[in-house]
């Protein structure tokens, strides 16, 4: 993504952004927030069909989509982007915006290939932080029979260097020296063996 970093500041002037939401008021709010960050090239779409049409004419550098829409939803759109869209569209960073964030929906969003999930009501500072993360992130793109998208195996690695974490238990980027000796295969097997518990 061409999110230009100048020191700690993002330069979004030359970044092409597509935003998708069937609710006109939500689309206006999101557009105003992104314009406030300095973005000038914003394609606004109110349906997945309209978004696909826009992407067929010009690839973008960032996609923000609402999760819940009447015909096709944001999850289906993300799956299409990752699995069926032509290059370079399929590699475009995606942020899914939703008002419902139980763990099950966050997992569905992750498995559709989005980079981040952001909750409503939108907080500009949170959205800007996700843009910073996307500009510094170096997750590999994974493609296999059941998934296409950024590597999902980063849950506890924490944010990119110089960024604050999301959780108190995020791991730091540095790996420390090994402490202690490795377990033997017998010790590992004994941990895996079912045992009866006496109550």
Residue 19 belongs to some domain of the structure: yes
Q: What is the pLDDT of residues 83-110, one digit of tens each?
A: 999 888 999 999 999 987 788 888 888 8
Q: Which residues contact 163 (CB under 8 A, 6 or more apart)?
A: 129, 132, 133, 136
| Range scoring the smallest mean pLDDT among 175-179, 181-185, 191-195 | 175-179
Does the pLDDT at position 1 exceed 50? no
Distances (CA, A) of 120 to 2, 27, 124, 150: 26, 12, 11, 23
Q: Which residues contact 148 (CB under 8 A, 6 or more apart)?
A: 82, 83, 90, 113, 141, 142
Q: Report the pLDDT averaged over residues 181-196.
A: 77
Number of compact structural domains in the chain? 1
Residue 132 belongs to some domain of the structure: yes
Residue 96 belongs to some domain of the structure: yes
Residue 163 belongs to some domain of the structure: no
Distances (CA, A) of 77 to 18, 74, 105: 13, 5, 15
| Domain of residue 92, CATH code | 3.40.50.2300
Q: Which of 7-21, 115-129, 136-150, 157-171 has the highest mean pLDDT?
A: 115-129
pLDDT at 33: 94
Residue 39 belongs to some domain of the structure: yes
Residue 12 belongs to some domain of the structure: yes
| Domain residue limits at 128 | 4-150
Residue 192 belongs to some domain of the structure: no
Average pLDDT, the chain: 83
Handedness of CA 106, 112, 118, 120 (dihedral sign): negative
Gyration radius of the chain over CA positions: 20
Residue 191 belongs to some domain of the structure: no
Q: Report the pLDDT averaged over residues 152-170.
A: 59
Pairing state between β 4-6 and 9-11 = antiparallel
Does the pLDDT at position 168 exceed 60? no
DSSP states of 102-163 as a string?
-HHHHHHHHHHT-SEEEESSP-HHHHHHHHHHHHH--PPEEE-SS-EEE-STTTTT-SSTTS
Does the pLDDT at position 61 exceed 90? yes
The DSSP element (H or E) to which 57 belongs, if any, is helix 48-57
Hey, is 173 helix, strand or coil?
Answer: coil
């Amino acid at each position: 993504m061409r999110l230009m970093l100048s020191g700690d500041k993002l330069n979004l002037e030359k970044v092409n952004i597509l935003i998708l939401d069937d609710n006109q008021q939500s689309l206006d709010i999101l557009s105003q927030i992104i314009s406030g960050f300095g973005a000038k090239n914003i394609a606004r779409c109110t349906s997945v069909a309209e978004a696909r049409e826009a992407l067929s004419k010009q690839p973008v550098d960032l996609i923000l989509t609402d999760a819940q829409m009447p015909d096709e939803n944001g999850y289906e759109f993300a799956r299409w982007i990752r699995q069926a869209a032509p290059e370079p569209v399929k590699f475009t960073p995606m942020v899914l915006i939703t008002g419902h964030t139980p763990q099950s929906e966050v997992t569905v969003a992750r498995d559709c290939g989005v980079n981040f999930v952001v909750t409503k009501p939108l907080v500009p500072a949170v959205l800007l932080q996700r843009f910073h993360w996307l500009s510094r992130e170096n997750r590999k793109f994974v493609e296999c029979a059941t998934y296409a998208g950024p590597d999902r195996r980063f849950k506890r690695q924490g944010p990119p260097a110089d960024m604050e974490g999301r959780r108190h238990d995020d791991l730091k980027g540095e790996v420390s020296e090994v402490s202690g000796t490795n377990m033997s295969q017998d010790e590992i097997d004994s941990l895996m063996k079912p045992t009866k518990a006496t109550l």
